Amino acid sequence: MQSRCNEPGLGWEAAQIPEVTVAKLDMNKLNKEQTLYMPKIPDIAKCPEHLAPLKKWEDAFLADFAELRAALSHLEDSRVENSDRQHPVFSFHEDYSCQVLESTLPENFDNLTIDSQPLDCSNPKNSDKRLPLSIINEDDTSLSPENSSPRTESSGNYPLLSVILGMDSVARVSMLRKCINSLETKSTLSRSDCMWLFALCAAIDTPLHADTCAALRSLLRKCASLRAEKSELDDEVVMLNILVTIAGRYFKQSEN
């Protein structure tokens, strides 16, 4: 009897409830507590017109670079096919390592030689001999006392084909990211760093992982930033143009 008496009151209360309820939020307080989801990434610096590479040069370079990658892939496939016996290690003549930036044509592979003893890249004493100086300095604890003395570019700290082919695909990508990260804090691009970046870009597998794409975009922004500060054409500008073309056009990380 009592429930029937309350029915009119319940109906009236239900009629007062709006179909849609909007909560009143204090947006000022909310904005103060919110963190940025996306980092602020700087734009790619514009290149001075008199330092920008010609489209014809870029096309020719990219064709040569693609042929170089194909040649390296062929060498690696040959090593895999002969996995049932001890691998000879391919390496460039000493004079070839200094010419890698001047030409990427496949005929330069005529300068290949075969070492009598393979290089064990898993041994730090061997693999460290040809690692970039900037990467070695980041992990001094892995160096033995006899190998911890500082070295300069004049000591021949350039990538040999034996070292590049001695790495697996994961090690190459990891080394490439470390080289790119080490470049972030530098104000100039050394010849040694450029040659390591060039060699690793020529050897990494595709398709690229998302993290590798992000690293290449960082390389593109850094090289473009260094190039934007230049006023005259010199060897560093040439190296910067090479890396910008590789990261931006070959690996398609440019915004254009």
Q: Is pLDDT of 64 > 80?
A: yes
> How large a percentage of the chain has pLDDT more than 70?
65
Decide: 97 and 195 in contact? Cβ < 8 Å: yes
- The reported pLDDT for the residue numbered 113 is 36
pLDDT band at 7 (very low <50, low <70, confident <90, very high): low
Average pLDDT, the chain: 75
Q: How confident is the model at residue 218 (pLDDT cuts 50, 70, 90)?
A: very high
For the chain, the structural domain boundaries read 55-142+156-250
Strands (DSSP E) found in 111-168: 112-115
Q: Assess contact for 109 and 64: CB atoms under 8 A.
A: no
> Residue 252: left if φ>0, alpha if ψ -120 to 50, beta else—which one?
left
CATH topology of domain 55-142+156-250: Methane Monooxygenase Hydroxylase; Chain G, domain 1 (1.20.58)
pLDDT class of 145 with cuts at 50, 70, 90: very low
At residue 119, the pLDDT reads 38
| pLDDT of residue 201 exceeding 60 | yes
Mean pLDDT, rounded, for 193-202: 96
Top-confidence residue, 156 or 38: 38
Q: To which residue do tokens 């049932």 refer?
A: 84
Q: Which of 9-13, 102-106, 144-148, 227-231 has the lowest mean pLDDT?
A: 144-148
| Count of C-beta atoms within a 10 Å radius of residue 53 | 16
Q: Which of 12-16, 73-77, 80-84, 204-208 ranks highest by mean pLDDT?
A: 204-208
